[in-house]
Amino acid sequence: MPLFEIAILETPTKKEAEEGKAEKLVFGPKPVIGKDSQSAALAAVMENPEAFTGIDKSRMQVLVRPFAQG
């Protein structure tokens, strides 16, 4: 299975953005093995629920970077 690097950001609310606050890193970057990028991202979230306690899931931005094979 391919290797991916996963990072998850929490985007600011509209009010926070107006105050100049930027995204906040809440997870990673962390290496994850998965069948594809979507399953790797899902695995990262499901295997680390403690990292997302108290975070508004609708403001999460999941970033996935595949590692080259070959």
Instruction: Give pLDDT tens digits for 17-56.
Output: 999 999 999 998 999 999 999 999 999 989 988 888 888 8
Model pTM above 0.85: no
- Model pLDDT, residue 69: 67
Close Cβ partners of 43 (under 8 Å, ≥ 6 residues apart): 32, 34
- Model pLDDT, residue 41: 92
How many residues in the chain?
70
CA distance 15 to 17: 5
With a cut of 60, say whether residue 70 has pLDDT above it: no
H or E element, residue 24: strand 24-33
With a cut of 90, say whether residue 68 has pLDDT above it: no
- Give the angle subtended at the CA of 62 by the CAs of 42 and 20, to the nearest 5°: 155
